[in-house]
Structure 1
Amino acid sequence: MDRLTIASMQIRMRLPQTREDYLTDLRRFLRVAETKNARLVLFPELAAVMLAPPMLDDTRSNLLKRADQGRRKNASIWQRLTGSLASSAASLLKADFRTGIASLLDVTGRDLWQAYVEVFGGLAREFSMTIVAPSAYLPDPADGVVRNMTAVFGVNGELLGVQSKVVLHPEDVDLAQPGATWEVIHTEVGRIGVMIGSDVLYPEVGRLLAYQGAEILVSLAACPNPVLYNKLRAGILARMQDNQLFAAASYLVGDNQLSRGLREPFVGKSAIFAPQELTPRFNGVMVEMGSLRSEGVVAAEWDFVALKRLWGDVRYARSTADPAGAGRPSVGQTLCPVTESPAPRGPRPN
């Protein structure tokens, strides 16, 4: 594949009344991506917890959903009025979405996983796109342990692979267990390495994925403050430049219904990146959302021919700068023999 158009979503956290409400919202974003001819689409961390509210039918959860509906921009006067009353009642009853999710995972976690596969596998098939689905607290299909996990679906709706968050945020620890490692997911649009949240801050993670043959690195995040967002943005830019690969980031925005303490809104600017040498301003950014809090879709086209040409230029520059070491085996050759795993597509350290 010489060229690939990718779309990165920036979605607001909501508490939908029904699964169809959630699907309608997702289709709205995917139609925008479709008009941009995107073949690869990614969604943010924890955006799939919006599958849970329709499965919660207790009084407290219904009050929270009604209150959320009243806060929306397109809410009618009646919805705003009833939403305000529901919000007051929810506060009196100490209704908490986080508690509801924990209870749901204890009782019907497998049903939540099944709903996740049906929704995002169905959307991938409907739009003929490869989808890096949003993460959620889900039971791992391998062992049933609840993790902050994402899945990748192919154009026919098939499940291609899953990736769990390994470095947990303090807000994750009472709801999920950490994953064990990172593995490249093979798709028809390329080999994808997925990093959730703070996993992207560690150079070893990007390098491990590059050694496994990743061509694309993606970062999914839900940042409750601008400090964390800026750290994670710097992280994905560094992992991209370290390994000379294409990269993208997708962020959750809006009301924070998940934190235990102070619930600051989620912020971020979803973006698509390329090595600095391949971007107009030499800053690694191809396109980026303009607002930390607004919803939207950004899309860009990656040129893999230009990327491969860059790999050759960098390797040639390194070999001429160090002719004595040009014939020595690289770190990739000594740690990752070709017979066991493909070498990284980007330049290797000397």
Structure 2
Amino acid sequence: MKIATAAYPLDWHDNWASYEDKLTRWVAEAAGQGAALLVFPEYGAMELASLAGAEAAAGLETSGRAVSDRWPEADALLSRLAVAHGVHVLGPGGPVWDAALGDRPVNRSSLFTPDGTIAHQDKQIMTRYEREEWDMHPGGPLKLFDTALGRIGVLICYDCEFPLLARALTEAGAELLLVPSNTEAMTGYSRVRIGAMARALENQCVVVHSPTVGDALWCEAVDRNVGAAAVYGPPDIGFPDTGVLAQGELNRPGWVYADVDLSAVAQVRAEGGVVNFSDWPRQEPRSKIPELHVLRA
């Protein structure tokens, strides 16, 4: 299948029609190139805050609530587009106030299928900014999505920097991990990119990275954005020697495409030069280290 992953710029929209037109064009472009799975980034939905006006869009709390208020409309739009084009879409993510999960926002990405199903994944581990400045909370648990394309897991940005989250998904059957991200500097982007590549190596699976790019100075939450879209796999049999199936230019908006055959995941796990996935249990747990040696000058 062909995967399209977005390096997505955040634009100001004066009205809903402007936002709807942008999403419609982006989905149509990728579907027109034959993509079966489209991946948008974390906090890609923050441009919805512009619909509430400049004052609301500028504030951290007010912009988040503005996005959450529009979330049902955005879900309905992406669902219609997924059905119309016969594609799976991980939509632009954002803050959602979900009464079932408490009185603070969660960081959510929604997954849309060609049959109209809408599912979602919430971020598990908050960054310091999300936790200390935004008072954002972890949402629902990790989920495995068993789709017509394959078994898919979603690790939102910082989550991909924690190996045990990816391990839980791949042990449950995930062959494909989607990593939507939002990072304001090269340091943050590098951490997510390195994490995504490491998760592909450790779990011998395909990892798709979609970042926000460019400036959105009208919104404190996402004022600066650095990244490059990419698709990674393990550097072994059936995959490129570098592990990079496709990678866009840094901070260049647009789709990046990769042709992916998930049967290669089963092959590399069984026949690879190394077998990281099955060798995972061979790691020596810290609790079994017999003695800690402390050397002092």
Report matched runs for 1:116-127 at 5 Å.
116-127=74-85
| Aligned residue number for residue 83 of structure 1 | none
CA RMSD of aligned residues (A): 2.4
Which amino acid in 2 is paired with 1:14? Answer: D
2:228 maps to 1:269: yes
CA-to-aligned-CA distance 1:211-256 (integer Å, 9 cap, x gap): 1111101111110000010011000100111011111100001114
Which of the numbers 259, 263, 280 marks the counterpart of 1:305?
263
Which of the numbers 115, 119, 123 marks the counterpart of 1:156?
115
| Aligned residue number for residue 172 of structure 1 | 130
- Contact 1:45–1:251 (CA<8 Å) still a contact in 2? yes
2:278 maps to 1:347: yes
| Aligned residue number for residue 19 of structure 2 | 22
| Aligned residue number for residue 337 of structure 1 | none
| Aligned residue number for residue 252 of structure 2 | 294
Matched residue SS, 2:137:
coil
Report matched runs for 1:147-296 at 5 Å.
147-159=106-118, 161-173=119-131, 174=134, 176-257=136-217, 258-259=219-220, 265-277=224-236, 278-280=238-240, 282-290=241-249, 292-296=250-254
Which amino acid in 2 is paired with 1:154? Answer: T
Matched residue SS, 1:254:
strand
- Contact 1:168–1:198 (CA<8 Å) still a contact in 2? yes
Structure 1 unaligned regions, length at least 5 = 65-95, 319-344
Matched residue SS, 1:276:
coil
- Structure 2 CA distance for aligned equivalents of residues 300 and 268 of structure 1: 17
Matched residue SS, 1:40:
strand
- Contact 1:166–1:178 (CA<8 Å) still a contact in 2? yes
CA-to-aligned-CA distance 1:315-347 (integer Å, 9 cap, x gap): 9x76xxxxxxxxxxxxxxxxxxxxxxxxxx943
Which amino acid in 2 is paired with 1:187? Answer: T
Deviation at 1:36, TM superposition (A): 2.1
- Contact 2:65–2:95 (CA<8 Å) still a contact in 1? no
Which amino acid in 2 is paired with 1:201? Answer: E
Q: 1:102 to 1:274 in 2, by over 3 A?
A: closer
| Aligned residue number for residue 97 of structure 2 | 139
2:4 maps to 1:10: no
- Structure 2 CA distance for aligned equivalents of residues 141 and 246 of structure 1: 34
Matched residue SS, 1:52:
helix
Deviation at 1:99, TM superposition (A): 4.4
- Structure 2 CA distance for aligned equivalents of residues 115 and 170 of structure 1: 30
- Structure 1 CA distance for aligned equivalents of residues 102 and 272 of structure 2: 44
TM-score, length-scaled by structure 2? 0.85
Structure 2 unaligned regions, length at least 5 = 283-297
2:22 maps to 1:60: no
Deviation at 1:18, TM superposition (A): 1.4
Q: 1:42 to 1:102 in 2, by over 3 A?
A: closer
Question: Which of the pair has more CA radius of gyration?
Answer: 1
CA-to-aligned-CA distance 1:4-50 (integer Å, 9 cap, x gap): 21110111012211122112112222222123211111000100122
Matched residue SS, 1:171:
helix
- Contact 1:250–1:271 (CA<8 Å) still a contact in 2? yes
- Structure 1 CA distance for aligned equivalents of residues 94 and 110 of structure 2: 10
Deviation at 1:307, TM superposition (A): 2.8
- Contact 2:175–2:265 (CA<8 Å) still a contact in 1? no
CA-to-aligned-CA distance 1:270-295 (integer Å, 9 cap, x gap): 00112211333x111011111x2221
Report matched runs for 1:88-103 at 5 Å.
96-102=58-64
Deviation at 1:208, TM superposition (A): 0.6
- Contact 2:40–2:91 (CA<8 Å) still a contact in 1? yes
Deviation at 1:264, TM superposition (A): 6.0
